[in-house]
Amino acid sequence: MRANANSAHRVSAPRLRARVARDAANHARRLLTTSRARPEDANDDADERAREGERAMDWRQFRARLIAKETSNETLAARVDAAAGEGGVAWAHGLVNAEKGAILVARDEDAASFWSHVVILLLGETRSTSRSSRVFEVVMGPRNAREAARGDSSGQTDDDSLFLFAPRRSHGVRFDGSDHQSHQVDHPVGGVSGGVEAKE
């Protein structure tokens, strides 16, 4: 798989990538428009069918198929086809630009860097208060909470290496940055304490 995936990633013609992305987006738009216009959408289970239809028409799969075809990557094509039929099958290919649901893999291998050996899943974009500006909200994959809580990016941990989110007094977290009340939360492992109630 590595060789084939690599060949997909090496495609360097930006115009080809842009065309593939544009075709995939246009195709997805056409398919979704068609599915919404069906008369049976008024039925009780219409929502569920629409969701299933949108999943089946995942434009990312369509784009992956195009890339596999353009790069003659048979392994990627087979995996995408299998994923469309059964679901849950793993496929991946390189991208030029970030988008919702994309993965960022750090190239930095400097162990002293906080961003060394990091994998990030882009959850989406949030419009900030300033007009026309957008900020990505993301989640970083592998990191040890205790390590980050100490501000220690050396990669060294001194005992359990396991952070337990274990509030003793109260619970609550802030997810959306809305108004909230703060409460002390103590954790039995590690030096982190704190928590926020999103609503009260």
Partner 1 sequence: MSRRKNNLYWNALSSEVVGIGGPVGLSSPHDRSVIALTTKEQPGLTDEIVPGIHVVTDLDSLALMNSKFTGPGTLAPSDLCLFVGYSGWAPGQLQSEIDVGFWNVASASGGFIRDSMFRNVMDTIVDPDGKRRPIDAHGFRAWASMCANLGLQD
Residue placing its CB nearer to partner 1 in the complex, 39 or 87: 87
CA 22 to chain CA centroid, nearest Å: 21
User: Can you tell me the distance from the alpha carbon of 87 to that of 90, in angstroms, rounded to the nearest whole number?
Assistant: 9
Instruction: Provide the minimum distance between the beta carbon of 68 and partner 1 in the complex, in angstroms, as a whole number.
Output: 12
Q: Which is nearer to partner 1, 39 or 178 (CB)?
A: 178
Q: How far is the CB of 37 from partner 1 (least distance, A)?
A: 22
Spatial distance between the Cα atoms of 136 and 138, rounded to a whole number of angstroms: 6
Q: CB neighbours of 88 closer than 8 A, spacing ≥ 6?
A: none
- Stretch of 26-34, 36-44, 112-120 lying at the interface with partner 1 (CB under 8 A): 112-120
Binding to partner 1 in span 18-37, by CB under 8 A: none
The one among 6, 34, 43, 72 contacting partner 1 by CB under 8 A = 6
| Whether 55 contacts 31, CB under 8 Å | no
Q: Which stretch binds partner 1 (CB under 8 A): 27-35, 38-46, 58-66?
A: 58-66
CB count in 10 Å sphere of residue 195: 20
What letter does residue 43 receive in the DSSP assignment? S
Residue 69 makes contact with partner 1 by CB under 8 A:
no
CB of 46 to partner 1, least distance (A): 14
Cα–Cα distance measured from residue 28 to residue 103, given in angstroms and rounded to the nearest whole number: 21
Per-residue DSSP letter, 12: -
Pick from 62, 66, 71, 91 the residue near partner 1 by CB under 8 A: 91
CA distance 184 to 194: 5
Residue of the chain from 38, 60, 112, 152 that contacts partner 1 (CB under 8 A) = 60
Residue among 35, 46, 106, 152 that touches partner 1 (CB under 8 A): 106
Q: Which of 37, 42, 90, 112 binds partner 1 (CB under 8 A)?
A: 90
- String marking each residue 121-140 x if it binds partner 1 according to CB under 8 A: x-xx---x---xxxxxxxxx
Cα separation, 111 vs 162, in Å, equals: 20
